Amino acid sequence: MPVISAPQDFNEDDLYVDLEGIFERPLFLKCEGFNFAGSIKLKAAAEMVEAAERDGLLTPDSVLVESSSGNLGVALSVIAAHRGYRFLCVTDSRCNLATRMMMEAFGSQVHVITEPDPVSGLLGARIDHVHALCASGERYVWLNQYANPSNGMAHYQRTAPAIARQFPDLDVLFVGAGTTGTLMGCARYFREWHRPVRIVAVDTIGSVTFGGAPGRRMIPGLGTSMRPPLLDESCVDDVVRVEEADTVRACHALARRGFLFGGSTGTVVSGAMDWLARQEGRELTAVAIAPDLGERYLETIYQSTWVRGLYGEDVLDSRSPAMASQAA
């Protein structure tokens, strides 16, 4: 029986969902949402705060500040509340209402950016605001998830080894690309492992992470409007880009079988199924990382009016090629 005194001390690290019965392709989904922050971001948040404490960057008067589309903001809110720090999250208008309310429930402040930077979009505008806060006083401490090596280290030390223990014959790992902390941490670990593992990054269309023109992105989590400083493309074997409509379809396909996952997970699953569909005749042991659960998306991805208003009247009635084999 686990008994803990700090919220970050609990994380269910060995829970997988076998998706073959839903999508008719073998894929094990590593569920990272069963902790007190509800997402994989709790690992990165804990590692970054602990590193800042070791380096003497945090004092009792410090105000943690971070740019986040939501999940890291919740994770830092959890840890800040437990350790007695003040925390200010700079997010944007795409952040789910439930996510903002969760951060405020933990005592955090939330600043919502509504006007995008002409070049770097909402993310650039968020980071500009963080820079302005830090310039206004030394009490503001920016952990900077986009460039902080502790972001990737959390997954090099924890997430990837947990997968390796459960799947010693792993052939391919699918990882969503946001800040690329999870992607880089896992990729570097498996580069050093005793057997080759193909690393497939899953990104959303409209993201500039792996090049291409920026576009509209309404589902927070994966994708960026600025190339992440942590990214090293030499560690990535393939990239799959997913339309947001296919993210929604994947989430609804999972929900119809009793699994309520978040938008980042829907994107990863859709991208993985698309990639696996092109490997006909090959028997592969495949794992995908599910960063989040779906409760925070009830007013968006799981709300039919919101979905049809953005992606068309037939989005929930049609199937993308990647979803074509799913069970009815």
Query: So what's the pLDDT on residue 2?
Result: 82
Q: How far apart are CA 265 and CA 222, in angstroms?
A: 9
18 and 77 co-located in one domain: no
Token duo for residue 46: 């804990």
For 96-105, the CB contacts below 8 A with 24+ separation are 96/70, 96/220, 96/296, 96/297, 96/299, 96/300, 97/299, 98/295, 98/296, 98/298, 98/299, 99/70, 99/71, 99/73, 99/74, 99/220, 99/296, 100/70, 102/74, 102/77, 102/296, 103/73, 103/74, 103/77
CATH code of the domain in which 77 resides? 3.40.50.1100
Is the same domain home to 311 and 213? yes
Range of the domain at 117: 41-142
For the chain, 328 residues long, give each residue's pLDDT as a single digit of tens: 689 999 999 999 999 999 999 999 999 999 999 999 999 999 999 999 999 999 999 999 999 999 998 899 999 999 999 999 999 999 988 888 889 999 999 999 999 999 888 888 888 899 999 999 999 989 999 999 999 999 999 999 999 999 999 999 999 999 999 999 999 999 999 999 988 999 999 999 999 999 988 888 888 888 888 899 999 999 999 999 999 999 999 999 999 999 999 999 999 999 999 999 999 777 899 999 999 999 999 999 999 999 999 999 888 875 544 454 444 4
User: Is there a single domain that holds both residue 246 and residue 164?
Assistant: yes
Rounded distance between C-alpha atoms, residue 190 and residue 200, angstroms? 12
Do 204 and 124 lie in one domain? The reply is no
Residue 269 domain flag:
yes
Distance CA(203)–CA(176), nearest Å, equals 6
Asked whether residue 240 is domain-assigned, the answer is: yes
What integer pLDDT is reported at residue 318 of this predicted model? 53
103 and 216 both lie in a single domain: no
Q: Supply the pLDDT for residue 122.
A: 86
Specify whether 116 is located in the same domain as 155. Answer: no
Residues 228 and 294 in one domain: yes
Are residue 123 and residue 231 in the same domain, yes or no? no
- In tens, the pLDDT along 121-156 reads 888 899 999 999 999 989 999 999 999 999 999 999
Last residue of a domain, one of 142, 176, 200: 142
Q: Residue 293 and residue 40: Cα distance in Å, rounded? A: 10
Domain boundary among 109, 142, 175: 142
- Both 69 and 97 in a single domain? yes
Within this chain, do residues 99 and 174 fall inside the same structural domain, yes or no? no
Which sign, positive or negative, has the C-alpha torsion 49, 50, 54, 58? positive
**Quick check: helix, strand or coil at residue 67?**
strand
Claim to verify: residue 300 and residue 219 sit in the same structural domain:
yes
Does residue 287 form part of some domain?
Answer: yes
Spatial CA neighbour of 225 closest among 178, 262, 184, 183: 178
What pLDDT is stored for residue 282 in this prediction? 79
- pLDDT for position 93: 87
pTM recorded for the entire structure: 0.93
How many other C-beta atoms lie within 10 A of the C-beta of residue 319? 12
Examine the domain organization and report whether 136 and 80 are in the same domain. Answer: yes
Domain count, the chain: 2
* pLDDT score of 319: 56
